[in-house]
Amino acid sequence: MTDETKHSIYTRLSHKGRAGTHVHGFVNPPVHRGSTVLVETMQQRRDNAAKAPTERVMTYGLGGSETHWALEDVVADIEGGTRCKIVPSGLAACTVPLLAYLGSGDHVLVPDSVYGPVRSFCDTMLKRMGVETTYYDPCITQADIAPLFRPNTKVLYTESPGSHTFEVQDVPGLAEVAHARGAKVLMDNTWGIFHFQPFTKGVDVSMQALTKYVGGHSDILLGSITVNTAEDWAAIRASNGQLGMFASPDDCWLALRGVRTMAVRMERQEKSALEVAAWMRNRPEVKEVLHPALPGARGHDIWKRDFTGACSLFGVVFQPGFAPERIDAVAEALQLFGMGASWGGFESLALPSGTMPRTAGTGDFGGPMMRLHVGLEAPADLIADLDQAMRKLHANEE
């Protein structure tokens, strides 16, 4: 690769995926909205169709446009891959690769802490297709995962840290076992973003919900599927095309706007989240804080080995004596943290985790839980807000 790859993430996010000089000198690529792509001759049409699987030529709107390609180039660069496909949501980014590599009679290994809608996809559509799913403990060791592989295991799915409970997986170790058995390694890298380099750690296909920090403003849904080999690119491109997945160019343009400031936002949010997490950990009502970047927290050692930083999403486990309704009351009393799904925007969110659908016996941390997303607000204001809301834990202060 060129020297460019040595530039810092700040520099790359400012320079990748820019418009060429052909756009009148404007800095940003245009928004191309289009279905039909006209040709001058039938020979041109045939030539374009022949080139389309490997080169960027426009044959029809579904194949993407310069707007999509600019975003694809930025995401592929930050993940260290060669090609990327932008899809309409983070969930689509997770399901398309599963459909690309699995068929009737196959088996897939999925961590018990997987993003809920992916579990639902495995238990419904994949099951209907004749694909069997085994859920495994996300903290499983190399030695313990080996016997879970069967001759028909085609995919090892990973997500690290896990949804809601933030288990850090030994991705390089598990990938080694998967590759020895001829299985593909898929990873949901939404939490790691550019802080986890999937292709240097044994991952074949890396998925992200760009809805989160790349979008950064809670106003779009998008996903990315990044690969590092021509073989994986062919598989992803084919499945995506067969399904007719298409992301709006307007949303891609918004994501390109979001990604320019992402490293700066994330740096600030990472710092603020660690401050809030450390404060929470010292509260007597709190049993444990699930934040891999917090020294002494679960998963910290693997996080330190494999990640270069953290995002601003983490979990809090309250003391077991508090009823779930008390945790709901805390979330409802917060003034600066909104209550809602998703994360990665500029604003803080709090969501009681409720009962998680686990089937491999993991996920019980011994107390009611809440997930916090720390936004761009001042951490002192967020801490003061948590301080007042946590009075709701004590029923007599209602």
Ligand X SMILES: *Cc1c(COP(=O)(O)O)cnc(C)c1O
Q: Give the residue, chosen from 65, 67, 89, 133, that forms a contact with ligand X under the rule CB under 6 A.
A: 89
Q: By C-beta, is 161 or 202 nearer to ligand X?
A: 161
Report the distance separating Cα 387 and Cα 385, nearest Å: 5
Q: By C-beta, is 120 or 152 nearer to ligand X?
A: 120
With CA atoms as reference, report the closest residue to 310 among 173, 227, 213: 213
Cα torsion angle, 191, 197, 202, 206, sign = positive
Binding-site string for ligand X from residue 329 to residue 348, where x marks contact by CB under 6 A and - marks none: -------------x------
Chain residues 214-243 in contact with ligand X, contact rule CB under 6 A = 221, 223
Residue 247 interacts with ligand X (CB under 6 A): yes or no: no
Report the distance separating Cα 310 and Cα 349, nearest Å: 17
Q: Give the residue, chosen from 94, 99, 178, 274, that forms a contact with ligand X under the rule CB under 6 A.
A: 94
Binding residues for ligand X, rule CB under 6 A, total 14
Report the distance separating Cα 237 and Cα 226, nearest Å: 11
With CA atoms as reference, report the closest residue to 237 among 226, 248, 223, 221: 226
Residue 163 interacts with ligand X (CB under 6 A): yes or no: yes
Q: Give the residue, chosen from 17, 80, 90, 315, that forms a contact with ligand X under the rule CB under 6 A.
A: 90
Residue 356 interacts with ligand X (CB under 6 A): yes or no: no
Residue of minimal Cβ distance to ligand X: 90
Residue 115 interacts with ligand X (CB under 6 A): yes or no: yes
Q: Give the residue, chosen from 76, 87, 91, 390, that forms a contact with ligand X under the rule CB under 6 A.
A: 91
Q: Give the residue, chosen from 66, 79, 112, 188, that forms a contact with ligand X under the rule CB under 6 A.
A: 188
The SS3 of residue 367 is coil
Residue 349 interacts with ligand X (CB under 6 A): yes or no: no
Residues 6+ apart with CB under 8 A from 13: 74, 78, 259, 260, 261, 262, 263
Q: By C-beta, is 162 or 202 nearer to ligand X?
A: 162
Give the phi and the psi of residue 154 in degrees, each rounded to 5: -100, -25
Looking at the DSSP assignment, which residues form a beta bridge with residue 109? Answer: 134, 156
3-class SS shares of the chain: helix, strand, coil, % to 5:
40, 15, 45
Residue 318 interacts with ligand X (CB under 6 A): yes or no: no
Q: By C-beta, is 89 or 153 nearer to ligand X?
A: 89
With CA atoms as reference, report the closest residue to 93 among 200, 258, 230, 206: 206
Residue 189 interacts with ligand X (CB under 6 A): yes or no: no
Residue 202 interacts with ligand X (CB under 6 A): yes or no: no
Q: How far is the CB of 351 from ligand X (least distance, A)?
A: 12
Tokens of 248: 């709006």
The binding site for ligand X (CB under 6 A) comprises 89-91, 94, 115, 159, 163, 188, 190, 209, 211, 221, 223, 342
